[in-house]
Amino acid sequence: MFKKPVQSSKRSKPYWSLLGTALLLSGCGSTPNNVHTSSPAALQSMATSSSFTVSAITASAFNTGFPPEYSADGKLDSWWSVNGVGQWIRYDLGEAHTLQGVQLAFYRGDLRKASFDVEVSQDGTSWTKVLSNIQTSGTTLDLETYAFPLTSGRYVRVTNLGNTENIAIGLTEARFVAAQAASITGVAASASLKNRTPQHSFDRDLSSYWAAKGKGAWIQYDAGALLNLDNISLAFYRGNLRTATFDVDVSPDGSNWIKVLSSARSSGNSLAEQRFAFKTVNARYLRVTNLGNSEDNHAAYTEASFTTPLVSTVTVLAPAEPTATSSSPYSKAYYVDCVKGSDSNSGSSETSAWQSLGKANAASLNPGEALLFKRGCSWDGQLTAQWQGTAAAPVTIGSYGSGELPRVRTTGTQEVAIAVTGTYQVLEYLEPVVGNRPSSWIAKNSWYTGTVKCPTQSQGWRIGFSLRNSNNVVRYVKGSGFTAAIHFSAGTNNKALHNTLTNNDIVSTNTPPDVKYDDDSGAWGVLLNASGNEVAHNTFGGNLGCSEDYGTEGASVEIYKGSDNYVHHNISVNDGTFTELGGTSTARAERNTFAYNLFAPMDALSQDAGEFLVVRGWNSSWGANPGTKAYNNTAYNVQVGVACFDGCGSDILDFRNNIVIGAQNPRKSEYWTDSYNGTSATESNNRIGRIGGSPSFSTPAGRSSTTRLLTSGETNALFVSPQNHDFALSSTSLAVNAGLLWPLTNLAIATDLAGKMTPVSTEPDAGAYERQY
């Protein structure tokens, strides 16, 4: 049962803008759009002068005493709660609105981080996901704002993905933010060309426009009254052929101005209005100052408009009768306690738990049931997840209690800690451990009299989770010290989500070069030998081993003979390689996609390898990798950025919207491909640089016009603080608005690596982090 204890007394400091607003939404300034604008405890004061309300609230279930109506009653000491990932709450706004964000506050929000999805619907049946796998700050009990692209809808659904303590949700308050069109009541300009008057810039006619010569020319719009402003939409003359650069300032009185956008740039590929967001300011006047365009120094704007955020007000609805109560997300649960349990118990409660791993393995679990291991406990032997769930009612193998994750430890000659042979199972909050670390290659081969580089390097096969069937999820687990923490050995539609996979340092093969060269492998976070799977939102680091052939071996995600896998929104710091693809001529690794990943080999050991993406062409003995896609990734301090060789034709690699920054004096190129049948890899809209020097970009096809090679100074200005692992884009970054939108649209991506809205403007930024104005 989800108890109702007194909330923590820790409170975040109320945030009030100096210009009279407590609301921050999407845009391109110093404060991220979903990281985490606190609002005052007097929640009713959040409403704007005209507002809308929630007319009805429904939920998949709720715990007794915590109905869904408590999530919109204006109080931070009451909340909707329910146990279980996948539980949802739905808000009916009465009529359709153009929505741009939500504001949510969570029970124990100052002590733990909650994760959730947000969807919007016109009819309550067909849903559009606008926020995916978002995580709260974990620092406040107050409302935090989460912006998303403008989406029309009447219904909003929030789906629970658990929190850093358990799989429950406690939602204390919810608000919804709509975009309300603002009227332009007046206009002025510094100058105008003949027949190109300021009025032409808001006449809803794309064939007419205001124009003026020279940098510094400006046009100013009057909204008629003080409004909360957080955006301007502009359409540009020849906007599909050139990029325009401009500043935006706002003012409450037409005399005192505040700059909200500096050197903003249009996409250069559209005649339509493009939306530019910024930090919310209470103002009446909005001024756009021309900084030239990619053809000349003139200003020419065909259309301008802006909206003001409209926030839903508190609606006190009568709590529903507790007919849908749920004290457990499972239809039935069995418990295992290594200290206080007994195999003679029923296992059906925490006080009558089983004790042994053997008893747990023999359990008969039906769809919707769970097997839960006590936190702080450990067991020797193999856990075999062999049960058959369904898509609607998976079997859960997880944990209960408090403390460290329950551990399952390999012993004797055992190679796999947790074998997953069933289907539709969720394995969560577990930690496999190596208890039988193998010896080195030389210790096993005393006959060898040559010199070895790695006399103490463990060599063998140790696996944390071995996925051998389909439709299973491994999430919120830890894995260290293995050959591979998670091995996708067979099956499809398996997922590895939100895991921490670090310091996996056992190599599987490590023969000296004079015995056999080019066969060393191992030290992986994830090994993919299967097809049609997903690896997302994981943290990798220190997955490295000593290699006789290469000096250093290891990777975040190794793909061998695996196809149609989707690797996205992962963070890898201090791994040797992010991904290497391989296979054979008859079992290739094909059509694998990589998006919104960060790879940063920062320390000396990881720099020995420091390879972001290794792809093979049609002439490779390791099998070609056709259909490989890499979009919006950030690779920093690499020795090898992209290497596509042995026949890298245009059908092998599609590389767009990425940032690749080489280390000082790297071993090889930031980008290198050869060709096949007269074509080379397809690339565009990338930013390529080198720390302290000029990057190397080598391809027979030549560089696309949209990929830019950065000077040393431009490279230094890309990120906020890369040495402190802060790869958010700086205000002067040349990656802002540099990407193409269609790769994100094709993959249905709406958030960047930090969980923030992308794109903020019409086109996304290059790299894994979208700058929030």
Residue 34 pLDDT grade (very low, low, confident, very high; cuts 50, 70, 90): very low
Can you spell out the DSSP letters for 386-453?
A: --B--SSS-EEEEEESSSSPPEEE--TT--EEEEE-SBSEEEES-EEE-SS---BHHHH-TT--S--S
Comparing 23-32, 288-297, 300-309, the range with the smallest average pLDDT is 23-32
Q: Give the three-state DSSP class for 71.
A: helix
Under 8 Å between Cβ of 477 and 430? yes
Across the range 483-488, mean pLDDT stands at 99
Q: What is the pLDDT of residue 589?
A: 98
| Model confidence pLDDT, tens digit, residues 125-170 | 999 999 998 999 999 999 999 989 889 999 999 999 999 888 899 9
Higher pLDDT, 85 or 410: 410
| Residue carrying the six token digits 């190679």 | 415
Residue 14 pLDDT grade (very low, low, confident, very high; cuts 50, 70, 90): very low
Residue type, 451: T
CA distance 147 to 109: 19
CA angle (313 as vertex; 309, 316 as ends), nearest 5: 160
Across the range 604-627, mean pLDDT stands at 92
Q: Give the three-state DSSP class for 723.
A: helix
| Model confidence pLDDT, tens digit, residues 411-449 | 999 999 999 999 999 999 999 999 999 999 999 999 999
Q: Read off the pTM.
A: 0.74
Q: Is the pLDDT of residue 48 over 70?
A: no
- Residue 127: strand pairing partners: 121
| Residue carrying the six token digits 């069937």 | 469
Count of Cβ atoms closer than 10 Å to residue 636 Cβ: 28
Under 8 Å between Cβ of 319 and 72? no
CA distance 77 to 71: 10
CA distance 312 to 392: 33
- The H-or-E segment that residue 360 falls in is helix 357-361
Under 8 Å between Cβ of 132 and 754? no
Residue 315 pLDDT grade (very low, low, confident, very high; cuts 50, 70, 90): low
Count of Cβ atoms closer than 10 Å to residue 711 Cβ: 15
- If we measure between CA atoms, which residue out of 570, 573, 562 comes closest to residue 536? 570
Under 8 Å between Cβ of 633 and 612? yes
Residue 52 pLDDT grade (very low, low, confident, very high; cuts 50, 70, 90): confident
| Residue carrying the six token digits 């049960």 | 387
Q: Give the three-state DSSP class for 581.
A: strand
- Residue 526: strand pairing partners: 486, 557
| Greatest C-alpha distance within the chain | 93
Q: What is the pLDDT of residue 756?
A: 84
- If we measure between CA atoms, which residue out of 354, 391, 232, 389 comes closest to residue 301? 232
Q: Which domains does the chain have, with CATH numbers?
A: 56-178 (2.60.120.260), 182-307 (2.60.120.260), 404-445+452-746 (2.160.20)
Q: What is the pLDDT of residue 83?
A: 86
What percentage of the chain has pLDDT greater than the value 70? 91
Higher pLDDT, 262 or 466: 466
Q: What is the pLDDT of residue 319?
A: 60
| Model confidence pLDDT, tens digit, residues 244-287 | 999 999 999 999 999 999 889 898 989 999 989 888 899 999 99
Q: What is the CA radius of gyration of the chain?
A: 28
Cis-peptide, bond into residue 512, ω within 30° of zero: no
Q: Is the pLDDT of residue 596 over 50?
A: yes
Residue 65 pLDDT grade (very low, low, confident, very high; cuts 50, 70, 90): confident
Q: For the chain, what is the mean pLDDT?
A: 90
DSSP 183: P
Under 8 Å between Cβ of 373 and 399? yes
Residue 43 pLDDT grade (very low, low, confident, very high; cuts 50, 70, 90): very low
- The H-or-E segment that residue 168 falls in is strand 168-181
Q: Is the pLDDT of residue 294 over 60?
A: yes
Cα dist from 532 to 490, 562, 564, 591, 592, whole Å = 10, 8, 5, 10, 9
Q: What is the pLDDT of residue 329?
A: 75
Pairing of strands 210-212, 299-305: antiparallel
Across the range 697-723, mean pLDDT stands at 95
Residue 606 pLDDT grade (very low, low, confident, very high; cuts 50, 70, 90): confident
| Residue carrying the six token digits 């079997």 | 395
Across the range 764-770, mean pLDDT stands at 97
Chain centre distance of CA 314: 31
Higher pLDDT, 294 or 319: 294
- Residue 466: strand pairing partners: 419, 487
- If we measure between CA atoms, which residue out of 87, 159, 101, 156 comes closest to residue 128? 156
Taking the CA atoms of residue 446, residue 448, residue 452 and residue 458 in that order, the dihedral angle to the nearest 10 degrees is -40
| Model confidence pLDDT, tens digit, residues 522-572 | 999 999 999 999 999 999 999 999 999 999 999 999 999 999 999 999 999
Q: What is the pLDDT of residue 41?
A: 28
